[in-house]
Structure 1
Amino acid sequence: MNIAALFPGQGSHALGMGHHIAEANDAARVAFIEAEDTLPGLTALMREGPLDALTLTANQQPALVTASVAAYRAWQAATGFTPAFAAGHSLGEFSALVAAGTLRLPDALRLTRQRGELMQAAVPPGAGAMSAVMGDPNVVREVCASSEGVVQPANYNAPTQTVISGEKAAVDAASAELKARGLKAIPLKVSAPFHCTLMQPAADALAPALHATDYGAFAFPVYANVTAEANRDPARVADLLTQQITGSVRWVETVQALAAAGADTFVEFGSGTVLTGLVKRILPDARTFNIHTPEDLAAFQQAVQEQA
């Protein structure tokens, strides 16, 4: 198998995430210990909530990294496998970099805590909005380009699903125009307009911390959101992560590029199955797995045995 390891972003959180696999697997347990040592109280919040506190961007981001890295380490310890490639959706790019060995987990947790705080503070509450659009992405780009105010494609999630982000009035107007052209536009419940130029203050403020971080060698390439291309150069990581805050998540291109590079199995590590679903929409015949619980890990091992 040529495995592409995938790591989810915001919205995949759930109370209790990661705890079952951490209780059952020493490697996952160590990840939780590292997280608690770095951000005291985080793992208790993940386990017990309250959910509204876990949902806060500044908590959700490091929590998702913790759960994803714990699942990845448990899988690697149990199987001995190493993926050929990795990619993460938005925040998940930090988890992918930890899995590839270029970013230490404590550094990723501190950075994503700061990232979440800065992204939340970049735009006053209610001033921004995001909407999921179903239809031709070329029409989405055209409408955004001709709109007044800030509204941009934020996430190219699937061939006919694009999320737009920006000023609330501009997003509302673009959504109305898209509906008039026969597309569907569904407002999203988000705390800020992510992946658009309104996030520039957050990018500017996080850049010094990103550039001050030490990045090690890559065990395998990580596909960057803003380029949809493989990166193995530690010197590029800080710039790519900075650009990602205001840039589009080019997920469709990323999954297609992984397949073109030889990936034949896609394994999503962490809470939820969002990325597994998106891969199936991009590559309907793709082989996919999700690793979040001990049962998921056992199912993966059983599938490998049956294939052997």
Structure 2
Amino acid sequence: MNDAATRTAVLFPGQGSHVEGMGDTVARAAPELHARCLELVGDDAFARAGEDTRFAQPAIFCASLAAAAHDGVDGDAIYAGHSLGEISALTAAGVFTLDDGLRLVVERGRLMAQSAADQGDGTMFALLKGTAEQAHEIAGAHGVTVANDNAPGQLVLSGSRAKLEEAQAAAKEVGIRVMRLDVAGAFHSPAMASAADGFAAALADIELHEARVPVFSCASAKPFADVRAELAAALTSPVLWRQTLLALQDAGVTDFVDAGPAQILAGTVKRTIAVAANA
């Protein structure tokens, strides 16, 4: 891999990056993809992206892929995705066909929504301004999971609402601001075990192709080695996004492109890389 091939990283977002009107944007840029999404979901995923993970995941996948194709992303870039965005990144890199990638995302959203419904009281709280060490200490003391390490001072806990409320009180005692996230499940925690099993079965039926560019996993902060196993395991594993950004920087990346409609990942880059540069 030469220096030119590692200069740019294209980042594909996960949930929470939907914006109003993105369905119209996808319909203009990729009408066949838009139509296929509506067919597979059985409803307007774009209009309902704010309601449920079943709609949010395929809608964001389509918006990200349409944006990456429209922007003419450099074929020599490194790709990385945040949670759901891993499938977008792998699809953009050619590991999955566009239709297979979309079908996987639709199934992933369905399985995660079902696991969340079965669990009943799962949710996620963000810890703002705290350290990773504090987040892990609080999580361990209250029986919840550190689900996301997104950027310095941006960590997310996942678990039952009752236990998270206990963790929230403990966090406030040490001056950490806590924000409840508008999600209906304890994602990236052991509560998603049944979804991970179902997703592994879905992945077993999908053909893999050689990646055109390197794709980093946000569960390992390393290039994918076993795509099927790592994607399934990621449903119960924490998102190591801060570590992934630093690994991309170590790989020679100097320019980060956010392929998401809400440009949320661009903010994590500014926080993470700026801190690393000043360390």
Fold conserved (TM > 0.5)?
yes
* CA–CA distance in structure 2, aligned partners of residues 20 and 132 of structure 1: 30
Offset at residue 55 of structure 1 (A): 3.2
- Aligned equivalents of 2:101 and 2:51: distance in 1? 18
Residues 1:63 and 2:59 aligned together: yes
**1:109 equivalenced with 2:102 (yes/no):** yes
The residue identity in structure 1 corresponding to 2:203 is: L
Q: Which runs of 5+ in 2 are unaligned?
A: none
Task: Give, in whole Å, the separation in 2 of the partners of 1:101 and 1:160.
Answer: 34
Give the counterpart of 1:176 among 154, 161, 169: 169
Letter in 2 for 1:56: D
Alpha-carbon distance, 1:39 to partner: 4.2
* One-letter identity of the residue aligned with 1:212: D
User: For residue 12 of structure 2, what is the aligned residue in structure 1?
Assistant: 7
| CA–CA separation in structure 2 for the residues paired with 1:46 and 1:253 | 31
Closer/same/farther in 2, CA of residues 209 and 200 from structure 1, 3 Å limit: same
Residue pair 2:11, 2:259 contacting (<8 A) in 1 also: yes
Structure 1 match to 2:133: 138
Deviations 1:176-205 (A, max 9, x none): 111112211111111211110001111111
| Cα shift at 1:171 | 1.1
1:164 aligns with 2:157: yes
Instruction: Check 1:205–1:36 CA distance in 2 against 1; reply closer, same or farther (3 A cut).
Output: same
Q: Look up the SS of the partner of 2:158 in the other structure.
A: strand
List aligned pairs for 1:290-305, cutoff 5 A. none
Q: Secondary structure at the match of 2:44?
A: helix
Q: 2:93 is matched with which residue?
A: 100
CA contact under 8 A between 1:199 and 1:246: conserved in structure 2?
yes
Following the alignment from structure 2 to structure 1, what is the Cα–Cα distance between the partners of residues 71 and 43? 23
* Alpha-carbon separation, structure 2, partners of 1:70 and 1:260: 28
SS in 1 for 2:22: coil
- Tell me by how many angstroms 1:14 deviates: 2.0
Aligned letter for 1:129? T
Q: Is contact 1:15–1:46 with CA below 8 Å preserved after alignment?
A: no
SS at structure 1 position matched to 2:274? coil
> Alpha carbon RMSD of aligned pairs, Å?
2.2
Q: 1:70 is paired with a residue of what secondary structure?
A: helix
Establish whether residue 222 from structure 1 lines up as the match of residue 215 from structure 2. yes
Mapped to 1, the partners of 2:135 and 2:236 lie a distance apart of: 18
Aligned length: 269
- 1:75 aligned to 2:80? no
C-alpha offsets along residues 231-260 of structure 1, whole Å, 9 cap, x if unaligned? 2x4xx1111110110100000000000011
- Give distance in 1, aligned partners of 2:228 and 2:66: 23
Give the TM-score of the pair, scaled to structure 1.
0.81
Do the aligned partners of residues 66 and 257 (structure 1) sit closer, same or farther apart at CA in structure 2, a change above 3 Å counting?
same
**How far did residue 173 of structure 1 move?**
0.8
Task: Provide the residue aligned with 1:250 in structure 2.
Answer: 240
What residue identity is the alignment partner of 1:12? S
Distance 2:150 2:240 in 1: 7
Paired position in structure 2 for 1:16: 21
**Residue of structure 2 in register with 1:302 after alignment:** none
Report the 3-state secondary structure (helix = DSSP H, G, I; strand = E; otherwise coil) of the residue aligned with 1:283: helix
CA distance in 1, matches of 2:147, 2:84: 13
Distance 1:126 1:184 in 2: 25
Summarize the Cα distance change of 1:249–1:277 in structure 2 as closer, same or farther, 3 Å threshold: same
AA of the residue aligned to 1:137: A
